[in-house]
């Protein structure tokens, strides 16, 4: 089959790929093709389930804060440009013991960047938000500027904007199975149905298939895939988004959880951040309820802390693509070939800023300083 050539090629039109394509569109880039195995937004990757938290006082490390602040600006800009409600500033409370490294890092990030953060004891937090039943063993670090992003609506917005640009071609139902270098420079992507697309510069943001695709170029990436579940429950009026914030919760016995107030009548949503079932790329995922712990682990948190949450409405499965240290993997392993993956279950909030940085790197060949920490070299240095 004859290959089709463009200057830029993005493989994976999900969170990061479409964010980058959208930025290229706004910056007036010409000759861009974007490929996806499915029709985004869809539930085959990591961008479904209605909502994602955005937090700024970052518990995963203060190195993320500048990126989060830029991302927030870009989400607000996207809202202004589209007139759509994409970000719900319901606040986020981070809950855990005083000694939890995550809580300590949230507070350190806030101090370092002068972010507003309110510290409450467990009893005070329960008074402030009667949907919580917390005791004195927990503290809450409440961030009023944080909130919930409407993930599928955002991906849909980007797709519509990209499709409206005559300089960008989005090709869906195009599953790339192989990458190869072109003799004249650049790379070619070969699809499962034999179609071939070549470009001078390529961004691969293909979620679970990033590592397998790079292995066709003999490049090994330390990524693992994990099945994750989350679910929506009936909840009383205490959980309405005007009265209850988003949350992260670290329970030293039961694990790490996150959740959302009832937004648009969808119900109270909760998921578990740690644990999950390892999967090979491409391996089918058991639906929600396929493992006994799917519901049981959410129920135990509800029973311990959330007195007004009731019956299960429905659950869903999703996937994390993890790096060994759970920091992102963004690099240029060969000149002209940029990879972005391993977002380890906390990447979406940054997509608006990462899309900007990745697009600029693709177009101008220069890495933004804020991406430098995410390179593969750190794994060689740490022996992982």
Ligand X SMILES: Cc1cc2nc3c(=O)[nH]c(=O)nc-3n(C[C@H](O)[C@H](O)[C@H](O)COP(=O)(O)OP(=O)(O)OC[C@H]3O[C@@H](n4cnc5c(N)ncnc54)[C@H](O)[C@@H]3O)c2cc1C
Interaction site with ligand X (CB under 6 A): 11-17, 35-38, 40, 44-47, 49, 52-53, 175-176, 205-207, 209, 228, 230, 258, 271, 318-320, 341, 343, 345-349
Q: Choosing from 70, 318, 322, 323, which is the catalytic residue?
A: 318
* Spatial CA neighbour of 281 closest among 337, 325, 328, 223: 223
Which residue, 29 or 213, has its beta carbon nearer to ligand X? Answer: 213
The strand pair at 268-272 and 224-235 is best described as: antiparallel
Here the tokens at position 217 are 């170029």
For this structure, is 364 an active site residue?
A: no
For this structure, is 196 an active site residue?
A: no
Burial 162-197 (b: 16+ CB within 10 A, else e): beebeebbbeeebebeebeeeeeebbbbbbeeebbb
Tell me how far, at minimum, the Cβ of 12 lies from ligand X, in Å. Answer: 3
Rounded (5°) CA angle 137-89-100 = 25
Which residue, 115 or 126, has its beta carbon nearer to ligand X? Answer: 115
For this structure, is 48 an active site residue?
A: yes
- For ligand X, the nearest residue by Cβ is 14
For this structure, is 228 an active site residue?
A: no
For this structure, is 47 an active site residue?
A: no
Q: Give the containing element (helix H, strand E) for 231.
A: strand 224-235
Which residue, 73 or 123, has its beta carbon nearer to ligand X? Answer: 73
Backbone phi and psi for residue 96, each to the nearest 5 degrees, phi listed first? 180, 180
Q: Choosing from 4, 26, 42, 48, which is the catalytic residue?
A: 48
Q: Choosing from 8, 33, 47, 52, which is the catalytic residue?
A: 52
Q: In 10 A of CB 230, how many CB atoms?
A: 23
For this structure, is 6 an active site residue?
A: no
Tell me how far, at minimum, the Cβ of 311 lies from ligand X, in Å. Answer: 21
Which residue, 12 or 267, has its beta carbon nearer to ligand X? Answer: 12
- What SS3 class is residue 121? strand
Here the tokens at position 293 are 């712990």
Tell me how far, at minimum, the Cβ of 179 lies from ligand X, in Å. Answer: 10
For this structure, is 349 an active site residue?
A: yes
In Å, how far from its chain's centre is CA 18?
13
Which residue, 124 or 316, has its beta carbon nearer to ligand X? Answer: 316
Tell me how far, at minimum, the Cβ of 68 lies from ligand X, in Å. Answer: 9
Which sequence positions are flagged as catalytic? 48, 51-52, 269, 273, 318, 349
């Amino acid at each position: 089959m004859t290959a089709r050539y463009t200057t830029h090629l993005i493989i994976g039109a999900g969170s990061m790929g479409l964010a980058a394509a959208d930025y290229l569109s706004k910056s007036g880039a010409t000759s861009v093709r974007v490929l996806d195995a499915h029709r985004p937004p869809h539930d085959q990757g990591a961008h479904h389930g209605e909502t994602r938290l955005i937090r700024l006082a970052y518990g995963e490390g203060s190195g993320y804060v500048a990126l989060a602040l830029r991302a927030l600006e870009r989400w607000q800009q996207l809202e202004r440009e589209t007139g759509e409600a994409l970000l719900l500033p319901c606040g986020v409370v981070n809950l855990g013991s005083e000694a939890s490294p995550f809580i300590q890092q949230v507070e350190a990030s806030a101090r370092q960047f002068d972010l507003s953060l309110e510290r409450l004891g467990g009893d005070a937090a329960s008074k402030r938000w009667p949907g919580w039943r917390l005791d004195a063993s927990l503290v809450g670090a409440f961030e009023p500027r944080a909130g919930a992003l409407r993930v599928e609506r955002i991906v849909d917005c980007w797709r519509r904007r990209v499709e409206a640009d005559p300089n960008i071609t989005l090709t869906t139902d195009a599953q790339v199975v192989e990458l190869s270098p072109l003799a004249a420079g650049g790379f070619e992507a070969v699809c499962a149905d034999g179609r071939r697309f070549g470009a001078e510069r390529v961004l691969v943001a293909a979620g679970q298939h990033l590592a397998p695709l790079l292995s066709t170029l003999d490049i090994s990436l330390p990524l693992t895939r994990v099945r994750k579940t989350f679910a929506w429950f009936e909840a009383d009026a205490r959980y309405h988004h005007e009265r209850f914030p988003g949350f992260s919760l670290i329970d030293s016995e039961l694990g790490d959880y996150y959740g959302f107030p009832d937004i648009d009548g969808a119900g109270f949503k909760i998921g578990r951040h740690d644990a999950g079932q390892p999967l090979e790329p491409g391996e089918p995922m058991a639906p929600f309820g396929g493992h006994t712990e799917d519901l049981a682990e959410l129920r135990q948190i509800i029973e311990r802390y959330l007195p007004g949450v009731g019956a299960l409405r429905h659950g869903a499965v999703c996937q994390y693509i993890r790096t060994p240290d759970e920091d992102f993997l963004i690099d240029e392993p060969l000149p002209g070939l940029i990879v972005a993956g391993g977002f380890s279950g906390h990447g979406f909030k940054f997509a608006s800023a990462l899309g900007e940085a990745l697009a600029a790197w693709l177009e101008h060949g220069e890495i933004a300083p804020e991406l430098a920490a995410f390179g593969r070299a750190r794994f060689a240095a740490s022996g992982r």
